[in-house]
Structure 1
Amino acid sequence: MRLYVLARNPTDSVTEGFLPAARELGLDVTLLTDHPEAHQGGLPGEILGSLEILECDVRDFRAVISRIAAHHSPGAIFTNSDHLQTQAALAAEYFGLPGKDWRTALRTKDKAQMRRHLAAAGADAVWSAELPAGRDPAGLTTLDVPFPCVVKPREGVASEDVVLVEGPEQLVRRCAEIQARRPGAALVIEEYLAGELCTLETLGDGRVRHVLGGFRTEVSPPPYFIEERMTFVPAHPDAVVAQVLAQLDALGVGFGACHTEFVVAAGRARLIEVNYRAIGDQCDLLLAQLLGIPLFEHILRTHLGEPLPSDLGARSDGRARLDYPCARSTGTLTAAPGRTEATAGGVHLTYRPLREVGEYHELHGTNRDFLGVVRATGTDQSAVDRAVADFLAAHHWEITP
């Protein structure tokens, strides 16, 4: 059976998760991408040797359908990209294959549409406004904007150009700055939702839905929202989970993997954004290890039309933490630790560099400032926390202007 995977740039989720899982399932895999050279140069030999890579404008669902129709008959169409969920869903529907509802994929990707849909469904009402691409942000000063507020690209990802704004003049200035960087992007302005930032990770087949746990997220100081630390939560309070799931139901989310970000204040859960895919930044790799389940195979099986088991057999005693050392200035990385794998005191720790020594980068104020990922798993949270803290204290990352 042939699996078509839609991708843009290479990610750890695809390279270390989904492609090996597809090989374990015995699938023939064709990768459709608009960045073929990046995948050919970044994949390990054992994966690359069994993979077919075809160039395609994967942002256009018509190009995807045409490329597949002129090639081998598809058995499944899948993507873990934020940018390509609607395209993959439309292609799967065209070929009569299992997949996400394209309407749901669209309304979760489009942050303005998500707010409108939740409000219309009576699930939650968040003050928000949309600034179309090319529109003068000065017009926003006529609105009754609740400050502080958050400005973000309508279809953005990974905290890029997400910023907290304190007043009208700053709002106009920040919007203009983002428009200069993203001339074709519409922006969303919405009320700031205070509370503890968390995630909920779910997996469903349209019939049964499993809650895999979640994370508590610590972000950088305002005005940006860079995720600096993720601590695994085996189970959020039942009432909180019920609120989040009710809002996902209102959106129509229930097939495949979903990574939902929300805040909790005074027991009330409010969605920040819904990423209709598996969690990234190596959290999915950690989750599979921590739960002791073939997570990536399960996700692919749903797209093959196979039902999920009523019990995934996941462990519940695991504890974990991820830290993301970040660049604090523009410059060249001149010192940093290398890849690390160590087990001590019942804790398994992994460090993966995300930037090579000698590379020059601008400062972005986003997840693109990550220098590496430290992830640790065990059964005792205090031991896990100590292992990560000790690793960070024993190493340094140096940026030279």
Structure 2
Amino acid sequence: MRLYLLALNPTDSVTEGFLPAAARLGLTVTVLTDHPEAHRAAYAGLPAPPGVTACEVRDHREVVALVSRLGAPDAVFSNSDHLQIQTALTADYFGLPAKDWRAALRTKNKAELRRRLTATGHDTVRALELPPGQDVATLDPPYPCVVKPREGVASEDVALAAGPAELAAHVAAVRTRRPHDALVVEEFLAGDLHTLETLGDGTRRHVLGGFRTRLSPPPHFVEESLEFVAAHPRPVVDQVLAQLDALGVGLGACHTEFVVQPDGRARIIEVNYRAIGDQCDLMLARLLGIPYFEHVLAVHLGRPLPDDLGTRTGRYGHNRAVLADRAGTLTAAPAPQEHEADGVQLVYRPVRAVGEHHEHHRTNRDYLGVVWAVGPDQQAVDRAVSRFVDANRWEITP
């Protein structure tokens, strides 16, 4: 059976999660990407590296044409935020299980997400679109407010503004980096940030738990650490699931970020219609003791999920990013590793290679590496992560 996997840059989710799972399922994988050399390098060490073919993956017409030439697919899949619409349209063209492209669009386009939730009566967040070139002074947003790219990801160019001067400064800074992108300016939703991880086959949906997220201080929103939550309160979960239903989310993995306000109201921040990243999906599979990546691929092959996934309980997890605090060249960092002690499994994966120079972005792009641990006790996994960070060094030379 042949799987076409659409991708932009290589990710741990694909390299360590989906590709090994595809091999275990006996699938022949062809990666379609606009960065073919980077993918070939990333997969060079895999026991059975996939085929990699250059493709303008942001254009579904090019994807359809290339897949038609290469041979009929049994599944078309992507774990990229930016490629869900193209993947859905391609899969549907070939008569394969596919996400509703409208749901993929609603979740990717943050302005459309707000409009949909308002129109269906589930939540009303005051949100204004700012097209390229429009003067921000023409808007009348509520303060404090958040400015973000309409179709952005991973906290990139997201900032909190207390008033008009801060908003104008943030917009000007974003436009120097992405002048052709539309922005969204919306009311700030206060509350602790949580996530809900779900997996569906189009008929049934499993809630896999979620995470409690610690963010950097404002005005930026960098995810610094995530602590696994086996079950959020049922009324909160029900509210989030109702909003996902309104958006049309059903098939495959979904990672939803939300806050819970003092009155118990769950309000969605954003919906990423794919598996959670930054090693959290790999940690989730280890925590739950299920073939998570195989399940995700299986639903795109048209296979139903079991009524009971057999998830393991009584396990805890902590995921922490090691962040650059300034621009410069990374000159020292630990190697990738994993080990187990006293029932706690710890994994470290670098994000930036020694020798690479980067600016200071104040986003997830500042990650130098990610360390996570799972075990039978929350304090034990917290201590394991802290010990690892304290025992190692990451040096940045200006």
Q: What is the TM-score normalised by the length of structure 2?
A: 0.98
Distance, in Å, in 2 between the alignment partners of 1:221 and 1:232 is 21
Distance, in Å, in 1 between the alignment partners of 2:38 and 2:74 is 26
Give the equivalent residue in structure 1 for 2:186.
190
Alignment partner of 1:348 is 2:367: no
Give the equivalent residue in structure 2 for 1:299.
296
SS of the residue aligned with 2:388?
Answer: helix
Give the equivalent residue in structure 2 for 1:90.
89
Alignment partner of 1:376 is 2:366: no
Give the equivalent residue in structure 1 for 2:388.
391
SS of the residue aligned with 1:232?
Answer: strand
Give the equivalent residue in structure 2 for 1:366.
363
Q: 1:373 offset after TM fit, Å?
A: 0.6
Give the equivalent residue in structure 1 for 2:111.
112
- What pairs up with 1:2-401 in 2 under 5 angstroms? 2-47=2-47, 49-140=48-139, 143=140, 145-266=141-262, 267-401=264-398
Distance, in Å, in 2 between the alignment partners of 1:9 and 1:338 is 21
**Counterpart contact for 1:118–1:247, Cα < 8 Å:** yes
Q: Percent identity?
A: 64
SS of the residue aligned with 1:85?
Answer: helix
Counterpart residue identity of residue 192, structure 2: E
**Counterpart contact for 1:137–1:176, Cα < 8 Å:** no
**1:222-278 CA deviation, whole Å, 9 max, x = no partner?**
111000000000111111101100110111111100000000112111000000000
Distance, in Å, in 2 between the alignment partners of 1:220 and 1:118 is 28
Distance, in Å, in 1 between the alignment partners of 2:257 and 2:78 is 20
Distance, in Å, in 1 between the alignment partners of 2:356 and 2:110 is 34
**Counterpart contact for 1:342–1:349, Cα < 8 Å:** yes
Counterpart residue identity of residue 311, structure 1: D
Distance, in Å, in 1 between the alignment partners of 2:333 and 2:54 is 35
Distance, in Å, in 2 between the alignment partners of 1:12 and 1:129 is 34
**1:157-187 CA deviation, whole Å, 9 max, x = no partner?**
0100000111112112211211111011000
Distance, in Å, in 2 between the alignment partners of 1:389 and 1:26 is 39
Distance, in Å, in 1 between the alignment partners of 2:288 and 2:110 is 31
Unaligned runs of 5+ in 2: none
Counterpart residue identity of residue 269, structure 1: A
Distance, in Å, in 1 between the alignment partners of 2:298 and 2:337 is 32
**Counterpart contact for 1:151–1:162, Cα < 8 Å:** yes
RMSD (Å) for aligned C-alpha atoms: 1.0
Q: 1:290 offset after TM fit, Å?
A: 0.8
Q: 1:336 offset after TM fit, Å?
A: 2.1
Distance, in Å, in 2 between the alignment partners of 1:357 and 1:30 is 30
**1:316-357 CA deviation, whole Å, 9 max, x = no partner?**
111000110100101112222222322112211111111222
Distance, in Å, in 1 between the alignment partners of 2:200 and 2:18 is 17
Distance, in Å, in 2 between the alignment partners of 1:185 and 1:223 is 21
SS of the residue aligned with 1:46?
Answer: coil
**Counterpart contact for 1:7–1:58, Cα < 8 Å:** yes
**Counterpart contact for 1:150–1:191, Cα < 8 Å:** yes
**Counterpart contact for 2:129–2:185, Cα < 8 Å:** yes
**1:206-228 CA deviation, whole Å, 9 max, x = no partner?**
11100000000001011110000
Unaligned runs of 5+ in 1: none
Counterpart residue identity of residue 80, structure 2: S
Aligned residues: 397
Q: 1:50 offset after TM fit, Å?
A: 4.4
Counterpart residue identity of residue 183, structure 1: P
Distance, in Å, in 2 between the alignment partners of 1:55 and 1:392 is 38
